[in-house]
Every structure is written in structure tokens, then in C-alpha cells.
Amino acid sequence: MKNARKTCLIIIIIIAETLLSIHIFNYTTRNKSPSGVWEPPEEISCIDASYTGDNLVSVIGDGRLFLMQGNAMSFKQTYLGSNPPISIKISKTGNYFASLDNESNLSLFSSIPITGEGQARPLWVKSIPGARLLDVYSNEGMPPLVYVLVSSDDALILIQKDGSIAWEYELTAENVDAVISYDGSRIAAVDSEGEIYLFNKNTLQPVWNYSSDLRGASVSITLRGERVAVTGKSIDDGVGELMVFFGRTGDLVLCREWGGEVGEVSISADGNRVCYRKGEEDFSVIDISGEEAQE
């Protein structure tokens, strides 16, 4: 693993009020000016970025998909399919990305243009009724290992680079949120009934699972799956909760509660910091590297 991959070097900020421009900032420098700005011809509907920010993929109002070189925001590829994408994900290495359109058609793309003219072309397109696009994984091997993670109803499905299904697991409920660790070894998932899972990618059974009472949950995982973070709202008393687990055993490391709304969660690559959203504009960061968590 290259040292450059151990920390995220780029923070991407979207101007959410208008969704008409994207600003790229490098937080490792003291320069407060963006290193790149892109103003697309139409409103942005969805966006995702690679781990280091080298590649950024977005969809604009007319359904066109754009792949940009993140730091300088230079154009790389574009694609316009028959149906507008409603979700898009790019792998943490930035080598592959996938889109899901409004007719449940899932497409996988390579970041290297096949045509050589800046026009993207799907490696494959699969129809998956009721699909939700969750994550894309790729490594830098030769040939690369590539997976697309989706859910369909209450099933979690892992799809390989050639479009074949690597494995499928039926969960206890629908509306699954799931992510793949950076090294591709672990998959963390949480369903709409608050059941939390950690999978070894190479097996069909969970390493562990934990029954919570959280609803509307979000999940995040560290570089190699050492820790898993989950946020959601308790169905019992309506409070927001953050839960952090040891990846190897499923033991609870940390539990925090607050009143109010619940948003997404993100845990750092080394598992020492957790960022989570409490409402529309309220974010918290917790340092859990010591004996006691510091907010």
C-alpha cells in the first residue's frame, strides 16, 4: 500500500445552495483558495470522488455524466445514456465508476477512455429491479480486481468486473446502506431494521452482526475494516445515536446520543476520528484514539 493512499488529501465542497459549481480544496496546505472550480452547463444532480480527489464524477440536469480530473478540474470523459442516472459511485482509487439510472439499469465504466475521444462507454449494463447503488471497489493490480456493491429489496449483491455476481446475501430488511473497505477485504452494512453486519468479502456469511434499534442508518468503515461506525435514530426514544464497533470482534467501542436529526457518518482511514452530521448544518468530529473519546 502506497503511503499516499493512507490519508485523504483532497476535500470536495459542493455549493449546495445552487448545485451549480464544485470547489476543490487541498486541506494539507494553508491556501484557502480552491485548487479547482468547475461550473457545469446545468445543475448537478449527484456527485462522487475518489479517495485522494484525483478523479471526480458527476451527473448534471440533462443526464450527462462527467468524469473530471479532480485537482485541476480538467475534463476527461462524458457519457449520455438512454435514461438519466439517479446515483453514481467511483472507486476509492478512481479507476472505475458505476451509475444507476431511473430504470434500474446499472452500468460500470473505466476511468480510462475506451474510445480515446473523451466519450465514455460502459463495460457492461445490467438491469437489477429495485436496485440501490452502494459502492464501487477497484485495486491497482494487473489485472485489477473490481467489484460493484448494490442492494435489491433485502438482498446485498456483489458484482464482478465482468458483470457476473460474486455473491448475494439476504438481509432481514430492505433499504440497505453498505460500504467496502479501501483494501476490499471487508463490507459493512446496515438495514432499515437496524441490523448491522460485517462481511468478509470472500465468504457468504457475516463475520458478525449486531441488532440495534436504529432507523435511517448510515455506515462507514476504516481502511482495512478495523472499525465500523454507524449513525441512526433510535426507534425507542427518537434520539440520534453514533455507534463504533471493533471490526474483528463486533464489540462496541463507543456509543453517543443526542437529540435532533441524524445524518451521514464517516470514519477516518485509521479509525481514530469519526465525523457525523446531527442536522442540516450541524457536524461533530470525535477523536477516539485515546482512552476517552474527545469531541
| 157 in the same domain as 188 | no
> Read out DSSP for the chain?
--GGGSS--EEEEE-TTT---EEEEETTSS--S-SEEE--SS-EEEEEE-TTSSEEEEEETTSEEEEEETTTTEEEEEEE-SS-EEEEEE-TTSSEEEEEETT-EEEEEESS-SSSSSB---SEEEE-TTEEEEEEEE-SSSSPPEEEEEEETTEEEEEETTS-EEEEEE-SSSS-EEEE-TTSSEEEEE-TT-EEEEEETTSSSEEEEEE--EEEEEEEE-TTSSEEEEEEEETTT--EEEEEEETTT--EEEEEEESS----EEE-TTSSEEEEE-SSS-EEEEE-SSSS-B-
| pLDDT tier for residue 223 given thresholds of 50, 70 and 90 | very high
The predicted pLDDT at position 56 comes to 86
Pair (76, 31) in one structural domain = yes
135 & 32 share domain? yes
* Amino acid found at 219: V
Of residues 63 and 26, the one with the higher pLDDT is 63
Query: Do 227 and 207 belong together in one domain?
Result: yes
DSSP letter (8 states) at residue 264: -
Asked if residue 245 and residue 99 are part of one domain, the reply reads no
Q: Is the peptide bond before 143 cis (omega within 30 degrees of 0)?
A: yes
Residue range 213-240: mean pLDDT, rounded: 92
Q: What is the mean pLDDT of the chain?
A: 84
Residues 17 and 130 placed together within one structural domain of the fold: yes
> Does the pLDDT of residue 9 top 90, yes or no?
no
Among residues 170, 196, 223, the one where a domain terminates is: 170
Q: Identify the domain boundary among 108, 136, 170.
A: 170
**Which domain does 188 fall in, by range?**
175-295
Confidence of residue 3 (pLDDT cuts 50, 70, 90): very low
Whether the per-residue pLDDT at 5 is higher than 60: the answer is no
Answer yes or no: do 91 and 210 share one domain: no
Q: What would the grid cell of residue 86 be?
A: 439517479
pLDDT at 112: 77
pLDDT beyond 80 at 15 = no
CATH number of the structural domain spanning residue 42: 2.130.10.10
* Res. 155: pLDDT tops 70: yes
Please write the tens of the pLDDT for every residue from 224-235.
999 999 999 998
Q: Are residues 6 and 119 in the same domain?
A: yes
Q: Examine the pLDDT at 137 and tell me if it is beyond 90.
A: yes
Cα gap 196→231, rounded to integer Å: 11
The three cell numbers locating residue 150 = 448494490
Question: What span, in angstroms and rounded, lies between the C-alpha atoms of 89 and 148?
Answer: 9
Check whether residue 50 and residue 193 sit in a common domain: no
Last residue of a domain, one of 123, 153, 170: 170
- More reliable by pLDDT, 79 or 100: 100
How far apart (Å, rounded) are the C-alpha atoms in residues 119 and 2? 30
Which pLDDT does position 116 carry in this prediction?
57
Residue 20: what pLDDT?
A: 67
Give residue 293's pLDDT: 56
Domain tally for the chain? Answer: 2
Does one domain contain both 158 and 253? no
**Phi and psi at residue 5, in whole multiples of 5°?**
-85, -5
pLDDT of residue 203: 84
Is it the case that residue 84 has pLDDT exceeding 50? yes
Instruction: For residues 274 and 156, give the distance between their C-alpha atoms in angstroms, rounded to a whole number.
Output: 25
What's the pLDDT score for residue 73? 67
Q: Are residues 286 and 181 in the same domain?
A: yes
Distance CA 264, CA 277 (A): 6
Over residues 38-57, the pLDDT tens digits come to 777 778 888 898 887 788 88
Q: 150 and 214, same structural domain?
A: no
